[in-house]
Amino acid sequence: MIYLIPILVVLPLIGLIFGLFTSSKTEKQIGLLALIITSLHIILTPITIVYWFFVGNMNLKEIILYKSIEYEFFIDFYFDHVTAVYLWTGSLLTFMVTIYSKYYLHLEKGYKRFFNSMFLFFLGYNIVVLSGNFETMFIGWEILGISSFLLIAFYRDRYLPIKNAMKVFSIYRIGDVGLILTMWLSHHLWHENITFAKMTNEDIVIGHLTSHSILGTSISIFILLAAIVKSAQLPFSSWLARAMEGPSPSSAIFYGSLSVHMGAFLLMRTFPFWENQLVVRIIVGVLGLTTAFISNYIARVQPSIKGQIAYSSSSQIGLMFLEIALGLEYLALFHFMGNAFLRTYQLLIAPSTVAYLIKEQFYTYNEEIKHQENSLYQKIKNSFYVLSIKEWYLDYFMYRFLWLPLKWAGKTFHFIGNPFILSILLAIYIISRILLHNKISFLPAVEQQLPIVYSLFGLMFIVRSFSERYNVFLAFGLIVMSHLWIDLSVSFNQYFTLDHTLIYLSGILVSGLVGFICLFNLKNKNEKLDLTNFHGYAENHKKTNFIFLLATLGLAGFPITTAFLGKDLIFTHIQSEQILITFITSVCFVVDGIATLRIYTRLFLGEYKKELV
Amino acid sequence: MSSSKSTFDEDEVLHELKHYLPAQMPLKDFVHHNTLHSFQDKPFYTALQQASEIFGYNTTLSIEEYRDMYLHEHIEKSILDKIIIDEKGEENFHIWKEKVLNQSYQKPNETKVGRLRNKWKDAYQIDLNAGTRPSLFRILNAYFDQGISIWQFPTDEYGLLGSIKAVEKNSFVSFFKTNRAKKMLLSEKIPTITELLKILVGNDQTLYKQYLYDQQFMHTGWSGMVSTLEQNPHGLLDKKPATLKDLIILELLLEIDALDAELGKNWLPLSEKINIPTLSDIHDFSTDNQEYYQIIKIWQDAFEWSYYDGVLGGLKAHKEKEAKSKEKSFQALFCIDDRECSMRRYLETVDENCETFGVPGFFGVPFWYKPLGGKSYIKLCPVPINPKHLICEIDDHRERRKKDVYLSQHTHRLFRGWVIVNTFGFLSIFKLFWNMFRPSLKLATVSSLKHTSQVSHYTIENKNISDQENGYQIGFTIDEMAVLVENLLRNIGFIENFAKLVYIVGHGATSVNNPHYAAYDCGACSGRPGSINARVFCYMANHSKVREKLLEKNIIIPDTTQFIPAIHDTTRDEFQFYDDVVELSEENKKLHHHNKKIFMQSSDKNSKERACYFDTIDVKQKEKNIHKILKKRSVSLFEPRPELNHANDALCIVARRQLSKDLFLNRRSFLNSYNYSTDLDGIYLFNVLSAAIPVIGGINLEYYFSKVDNHKLGVGTKLSLNVMGLIGVANGIDGDLKTGLPSQMVELHDPVRLMLIIEHKPEVILNTINKSSVLHEWVYNQWINLACFNPYNKLIYVFKNGQFEEYQPIQTIQHIKNIDDFLEHSHDNTHTRIFD
């Protein structure tokens, strides 16, 4: 019976695999497939829950992906009351939205793509909800990120959906790093791959925390970072409203109800860990409450229905954070269900609101002049109003602290694109590699600083790639190179054995190679390959589009190549006190995802312009 | 190039902009109109070319699409050949045929709008739109919001710009990022457009006009809305004074602000930073691309005539059958709407002795309507008419409004929201579940069936002339009633042979989850259902004093004849009769009871014909089952196509019903009853055409343009729409308002112009058209095509170059033996057929 758990995870995966092979000409095949998969899921879910009810919490250690003396990466599943509630809600809503979308999307271009993205999302959701350790959860977490990108950019020939998909993805990326760092520090704290089941053991947790309280607090803060990003809490709230670009059902399920509650899930899942850290609980509570208020103000002034729903959802999740911090876990779970159901419903019937409110206005409207008094009270009120209209500068904040520095850095490191400098740096890389391989050591004092220098090179490369506007080969190559630097940096840092390097780089290089082949393929077909415009090649080069997307994801370290595992390995080789390297490496991972997906976006999304009639 | 306009005339340019911007009203008053209304003073094809060159709209299908239709015989070979010969002459036929079929053409894609303002990118590598649009749209949306936000814009006392200024002055936080623009707004005298343009563009005033066009046509949705509301401030219940000038000043200030934020204070104006090439005036037209547009014209004409030819051929081949009995079982007046076309046919098939008429769906009674408790008036007549009468609802026992907690704003508040989320929120899943599997009218549907009820009463009769409200007379006097009734009956030639029961059938629609609900109802009632008009008309026609007056005018309605108001819901194919408000005689009660069954049976059949266009329905089932499915569909949350509205409309026949009775017109025709023999001089014809042409021409052209450029002139897909401020729709939260129709409404539409066929002598028709400048423009500029069926010699004439020419249809007409077989197997809508 316990094997129902992996079956629940595998179901959407089966859907996805079959889905990719269905014909895009008829809607029936994929529609039926989606119905079968979600129906099976909604039948198996209650059975699993009933089983759990009788046997209690379950932990299932599934597959060991990698094992060495000091490090083990395994897939682990866990099932408790939090899982039960999230699983049930997710299964139910996905089932209903599937039925809804089967009709609603009739004749829509991208019908098949929608359901495949939905399978992908559902897969990620199940993995996260059922995960038994951070590593497993992280796989799901990444899948959620990419499926969100695909769903927001569903109307891929339009500018705003693409732009907002990129925006949301970039912010998500910060959350992902929160989780990476959590895993990294966890390894150092527990010296093993800790399972959530083990984390419920209070003695073990307290035992570890008393000796490493700073480490413990840091882990909690990184968990919180991942949680606030996914749940649109301050200061990251502005993405949620901007995610409402796809067809209403996807907005409803993914942003209105399921995806956005994943932060709360993460907090509840890890609650036993930070339960006894008062500071953390205070931070979570205060942050939640502040978001509740500020998002609520923004919701109040929103003049569009979806914007209003997004912000009030974010505001309610703020309250959930508070409830969790107060230890009212069951209330939070109940609250989650209510909020998820309500927002799904509201988004699905959003267009009805027009008729309802226009009628309401017709019968209740009172003409009054809104007079402006010249008082301090009025002034404060106005200030709050303007502030809320401007979303409390939250979107600007993202621009100021995420995009602008990147742009600036890209300009600063422009020289790296110069062929001469590029060849020198390449030479340095090769020499270092040879030195490392032959274990030739020169000045040990310099050597200690090398990891930082190399990781800086990695950062410069990736940032430079991000700002490249014309040469796509350069941009793509720089990304691959950046990974090589990071690998080199870590290799110098600790005994990053050759097999680790192989695990990491094999994924990167294969993805890079595939990507280059795709690019050459496009070039051979006489397509323009600059990065200043959106070219929309997805429309006319369907296969290349799909393969290049996979290559992009591989390069960005998604769980489809060994690079994903390698990414984890890299961090285990950075000590918990090496803050600088950690910082640089994590920034690299953030930018890496953004830069690779930017290339994909520019080339394959947007409006395809035909040349001749 | 005109050098005379070297200086910039602000008012003139503003006036021009208002002329060219879309004129779509807020959602609640959505009414079809010609999308390119601003070009209507030019011939159709000239307008298409100019609109395309100035604004970059696609104004026709692409040559590829035409060629594809030719391959699939949707465009007839014989017709294409004829058009080429007509246009280019016999001697050039082969050259042009080759060009039309095979030569490759580049669609001219240089558009005049955008030429100048795009240069910011070259000048400063800056995306000005990204810097200004989100703030601009958010401020506009917040200001105009009619009731979505809980906390509304602090004031609207001083107009758009004045109110922003008032808030800005009295706030610690600014709408602007930098100081300069803020100071300019707050200064005693707000800078003029010219002054601001000087900062942005530079000293060269010849560029200003271009710059403003570029700027405003980047977001036609909002600009159009502001300009429309400036001209019709009553379009909003919660009035928001604003002018296009305000909007432009605001946008210019935001541009300065964005540039300051990005470049610091010292940047050079656009024309001084980079060299701007000389730009031709926006309205100067090149003579390039002539051949491309000639090819397009040939294709579009061939496309249209492939359809028209069959219709005209059908009219010619069709033999009028003598009615079996003079005695009519009942008569029914429907709206001229194309959706009633097949409904009338089925009624006539089920009961061969009945007779149907078509009139514009407000039944000739124009008035304002005020429901009980309503805070404003609703116009129940075509948009251009300004009624002088007001009809109020006085007694009503209906449960009018149910509060719906899920749709109310409380869920968006913090603590109330918390309570609702944890209670009702939890229940919403059951509600959703229920609505998905058992949809019903109970949900927040907009249904024509709820427009009026058996128990509602209205102030239809005016007993005292001084009875007025806000300058409108409450109700109609007996004299006025008599005139209105007489006019309607005479317009359609229905002045004798009254049956015992005459049904006056308004129409409307039912839909849920549909921001464009107003587009589904009756266009002749300003986008509302026609049931109240039907009731008002029946009250008048049943009034004994009115009948006395009519008697004086030689219209004898027997005492036994009674008029019954009804509504036909075109989505549900359901009839609702308001028979309680008419005191039916015992005999008529029985008849009515019998007739109801006929209506029911006909609507089952009609729903089958409609279902053939929905490919999710199996049409081989029983009619009753199909009808059930359609009813369910009308209230289904996830059905973006509850009905297909006017899709495929292409025809309007102004004639006696006998002329078209046995033609299978495939729901593509508006049918306006008209009897030439009672109107030899065309006096009533003028009334008929004046009421019908602007309405149906507008419907047809809105469908045309939404289809050929769904991206710019239509809404695009409706699946991702977000409702902005209750006045419009947009994509996402940062998008521009979208005008026109969503793709789901037009995907089956064949973009052809309307063909108006009138049964009368050609000279009478010409005289009638020439009487009015409006009709003249529609016809002479070919925004509609005009044909004439001369009842005296049974010949067909077509209007061409200012006169009627005889037309010989080319295609042979097919016959239909069994309608069911035909419907189940054919999706052909090009060919007109005759029933045997």
Which of A100, A346, A360 minimises the CB distance to B638? A100
A368-396: per-residue pLDDT in tens?
777 778 889 989 999 999 999 998 998 88
Residue A557 in contact with residue A593, Cβ under 8 Å?
Answer: yes
Contacts of B724 in chain A (CB under 8 A): 303-304
Report CA Rg, chain B. Answer: 29
Contacts of B426 in chain A (CB under 8 A): 334, 337-338, 341-342
Q: What is the mean pLDDT of chain B?
A: 88
* Chain B CA closest to residue A306: B722
- The partner residue sitting opposite A387, judged by closest CB among B173, B424, B732, is B173
Q: Is A537 exposed, middle or buried (0-12, 13-18, 19+ CB in 10 A)?
A: buried
B350 lies in the same domain as B450 = yes
Q: Which of A510-514, B412-416, B477-481, B809-813 has the lowest mean pLDDT?
A: B412-416
Q: How far is A202 from chain B (nearest CA, A)?
A: 31
Biggest CA pair distance of chain A: 85
Same domain, yes or no, for A341 and A396?
no
Provide the β-strand partners of residue B182: none
Asked if B726's CB is within 8 angstroms of A354's CB, the reply is: yes
A105 lies within 8 A of chain B by CB: yes
Same domain, yes or no: B262 and B342: no
CA angle (A262, A268, A274) in 5-degree steps? 125
Domain that holds residue A125: 4-356
B424 or B186, greater pLDDT: B186
Q: Is A240 helix (H, G, I), strand (E, B) or coil?
A: helix
* Distance of residue B125 Cα from the nearest chain A Cα, in angstroms: 11
What span, in angstroms and rounded, lies between the C-alpha atoms of A488 and A425?
A: 13
Predicted confidence at residue B3, as pLDDT, reads 40
Q: Which of A356, A384, A406 is the last residue of a domain?
A: A356
The one-character DSSP state at A251 is: I
Q: Which of B383, B354, B351 is nearest to B366 (CA)?
A: B383
Q: Mind telling me how many Å the CA of B614 is from chain A's nearest CA?
A: 11
Q: Which of residues 512-541 of B touch A (CB under 8 A)?
A: 512-515, 517
Residue A116 inside a domain? The answer is yes
Cβ–Cβ pairs < 8 A, chains A and B: 305
Would you call A94 an interface residue with chain B, using a CB distance cutoff of 8 Å?
no
φ/ψ of residue B794, rounded to 5: 60, 30
Task: Say if residue A292 is in the same domain as residue A433.
Answer: no
pLDDT at B325: 63
Q: Which pLDDT does position B287 carry in this prediction? A: 66
Determine, for residues B157 and A370 on separate chains, whether the beta-carbon distance falls below 8 Å.
yes
Q: What is the pLDDT of residues A519-568, one digit of tens each?
A: 999 888 888 888 888 888 888 888 899 999 999 999 988 888 888 888 88
Whether A229 is in a domain gets the answer yes
* Domain shared by A288 and A144, yes or no: yes
B650 in any annotated domain = no
Residue B810 tokens read as 């080319």
The answer to whether the Cβ–Cβ distance between B721 and A334 falls below 8 Å is no
Cα(B623)–Cα(B627) distance, integer angstroms: 6
Residue B716 within any structural domain of the chain: no
Mutate to test the interface with A, among B157, B420, B421 (most CBs of A within 10 A): B421
Interchain contact B725–A (C-beta under 8 A): yes
Same domain (yes/no): B386, B496:
yes
Q: How many domains does chain A have?
A: 2
Q: B287 in a domain, yes or no? A: no
Alpha helices in A438-471 (DSSP H): 444-467
- Pair A543, A487 in one domain: yes
Q: Which two tokens stand for residue A432?
A: 């270092």
Establish if A32 touches chain B: CB-CB under 8 angstroms.
no
d(C-alpha B362, C-alpha B565), whole Å: 12
Is B5 inside any structural domain? no
Helix (H) or strand (E) holding B63: helix B63-71
Both B244 and B336 in one domain: the answer is no
For residues A311 and A438, state if they share a domain.
no
* Backbone torsions φ then ψ of B323, nearest 5 degrees: -60, 140
What single letter denotes the amino acid at residue A589? F
Q: Is residue A235 in a domain?
A: yes
**Structure token pair of residue B503:** 């049904």
- CB contacts under 8 A, B 91-110 vs A, are 104-107
Kindly identify which residue of chain B lies nearest to residue A375, measuring between CA atoms. B170
CB contact under 8 A, B406 and A345: yes
Q: Do the Cβ atoms of B150 and A300 come within 8 Å?
A: yes
Positive or negative CA dihedral for A498, A503, A506, A509? negative
B504-540 pLDDT tens trace = 999 999 888 888 888 889 888 988 999 999 999 999 9
At B684 the three-state DSSP class reads helix
Chain A residues close to B512, C-beta within 8 Å: 349, 352
Residues 6+ apart with CB under 8 A from A537: A522, A527, A544, A545, A603, A604, A608
How confident is the model over A570-588, as pLDDT tens digits?
887 888 778 888 889 888 9
**Cβ–Cβ gap B148/A305 under 8 Å:** yes
Average pLDDT of chain A to the nearest whole number: 88
Question: Measured between CB atoms, does A309 come within 8 Å of chain B?
Answer: yes
Residue B150 distance to chain A (closest CA, Å): 5
Region class of B709: left (phi > 0), else alpha (psi between -120 and 50), else beta: beta
Whether residues B722 and A304 touch (CB distance < 8 A) is answered with: yes
Domain assignment present for residue B86? The answer is: no
Inside any domain, residue A609: no
A64 touches B: beta carbon within 8 Å = no
Of A126, A159, A160, A153, the C-alpha closest to A140 is A126
Within 10 A of B162 (CB to CB), how many other CB atoms are there?
A: 16
To the nearest whole Å, the CA of B276 is away from the closest chain A CA by: 22
User: Would you say residue B501 has pLDDT above 90?
Assistant: yes
- Position A2 pLDDT exceeds 70: yes
Contacts of B271 (CB under 8 A, 6+ apart): B201, B202, B203, B204, B207
**Contact between chains at B62 and A387 (C-beta distance less than 8 A):** no
ipTM for this prediction: 0.91
- On the question of pLDDT at A603 being above 60, the answer is yes
Note whether A244 contacts B146, CB cutoff 8 Å.
no
Residues of chain A numbered 521-580 and touching chain B (CB < 8 Å) = none
How would residue A73 be classed by pLDDT, with cut points 50, 70 and 90?
confident
B613, B643, B673: which is the final residue of a domain? B643
Q: Under an 8 A CB cutoff, do B27 and A306 touch? A: no
Residues 365-404 of A with CB under 8 A from B: 365-367, 369-372, 374, 378-383, 385-390, 395
Hey, is the C-beta of B186 within 8 angstroms of any chain A C-beta?
no
pLDDT > 90: what percent of chain A? 42
Residue A62 φ then ψ, to 5°: -100, -80
Residue A370 maps to a domain: no
- Chain B residues with CB under 8 Å of A334 CB are 422, 426
Regarding whether B233 and B375 lie in a shared domain, the answer is no
* CB-neighbour burial class of residue A239 (10 A; exposed 0-12, middle 13-18, buried 19+): buried
Residue B821 forms part of a structural domain: no
Same domain as B461, residue B346: yes
Token digits of residue B729: 């729709």
> Which chain A residue lies closest to B446 (C-alpha atoms)?
A355
Interface of B with A in 798-827 (CB under 8 A): none
Are B243 and B352 within one domain?
no
Shortest CA distance from A376: residue in chain B: B170
Q: How many CB atoms lie within 10 A of CB B174?
A: 19
CA–CA distance from A431 to each of A417, A435, A570 (Å)?
20, 6, 21
Whether A362 is covered by a domain: the verdict is no
How many Cβ atoms are within 10 Å of B330's Cβ, its own excluded?
23
For A187-246, what is each residue's pLDDT tens digit? 888 887 888 888 888 888 888 887 788 888 999 999 999 999 999 998 999 899 998 888
Would you call A305 and B414 a contact, using CB atoms and an 8 Å cutoff?
A: no
Q: Is residue B697 part of a domain?
A: no
- Chain B residues in contact with A249 (beta carbon < 8 A): 638
Q: Which of these ranges, B169-183, B417-431, B678-692, has the smallest mean pLDDT? A: B417-431
Strands (E), B645-725: 651-655, 663-664, 669-673, 721-724
- Alpha helix ranges (H) inside B709-818: 743-746, 762-771, 773-780
Is B725 within 8 Å of A304 when comparing Cβ atoms? Answer: yes
pLDDT for the residue numbered B543: 94
A304 and B152 within 8 Å at the Cβ level: the answer is no
Residue of A nearest to B166 (CA): A372
Domain boundary among B246, B273, B300: B273
- Is A376 contained in some domain? no
- Please write the tens of the pLDDT for every residue from A10-46: 999 999 999 999 888 888 899 999 999 999 999 999 9
Same structural domain, A518 and A454 = yes
Residue A611 reports pLDDT greater than 60? no
Q: Which residue has the tokens 């409309």?
A: B649
pLDDT band at A276 (very low <50, low <70, confident <90, very high): confident
Across the interface, do A360 and B432 touch by the CB < 8 Å criterion? no
Question: C-alpha A392: how far from its chain's center?
Answer: 24
Residues 227-266, chain B, touching A (beta carbon < 8 A): 237-238
Q: Are residues A422 and A340 in the same domain?
A: no
**Do both A125 and A242 map to the same domain?**
yes
- Residue B430 distance to chain A (closest CA, Å): 9
What distance, in Å, lies between the first and last C-alpha atoms of chain B? Answer: 62
Which of these three, A331, A356, A381, is where a domain ends? A356
Residues A327, A270 share a domain: yes
**Taking 70 as the threshold, does the pLDDT of residue B836 lie above it?**
no
B643, B678, B708 — which closes off a domain? B643
**Looking at beta carbons, which residues of chain B come within 8 Å of A382?**
154, 167, 170-171
Is B432 in Cβ contact with A341 (below 8 Å)?
Answer: yes
pLDDT recorded at residue A494:
67
Same domain, B266 and B353: no
Helix, strand or coil, per DSSP, at residue A254: helix
State how many domains chain B has.
2
Count of Cβ atoms closer than 10 Å to residue B797 Cβ: 22
The interface residues of chain A toward chain B in range 107-136, judged by CB-CB distance below 8 A, are: 107-108
Q: Which domain holds residue B490?
A: 331-404+444-643
Q: What is the pLDDT of residue A562?
A: 85
CA A335 centroid distance within chain: 24
pLDDT tens profile B332-352: 999 999 999 999 999 999 998
Shared-domain flag, residues B265 and B345: no
**B217 lies in the same domain as B344:** no
* Residue A271, both tokens: 């609650």
Asked if residue B24 is part of any domain, the answer here is no
> B134 to chain A, minimum CA–CA distance in Å?
10
Look up residue B9 and give its DSSP letter: -
Chosen from B429, B436, B715 to mutate, greatest number of chain A CBs within 10 A: B429
Q: In Å, what is the CA distance from B202 to each residue of A411, B8, B88, B209, B509? A: 30, 13, 49, 13, 54
Residue to substitute from B720, B721, B729, B736, interface A, most A β-carbons within 10 A: B720
Last residue of a domain, one of A330, A356, A382: A356
pLDDT of amino acid B2: 39
Q: Are A264 and A230 in contact (CB under 8 A)?
A: no
Domain membership flag for residue A402: yes
A167 and A47 in a single domain? The answer is yes
| Rounded-to-integer distance, Cα A488 and Cα B754, Å | 72
pLDDT in tens, A298-347: 999 999 999 999 999 999 999 999 999 999 999 999 999 999 999 888 88
Same domain, yes or no: A543 and A444: yes
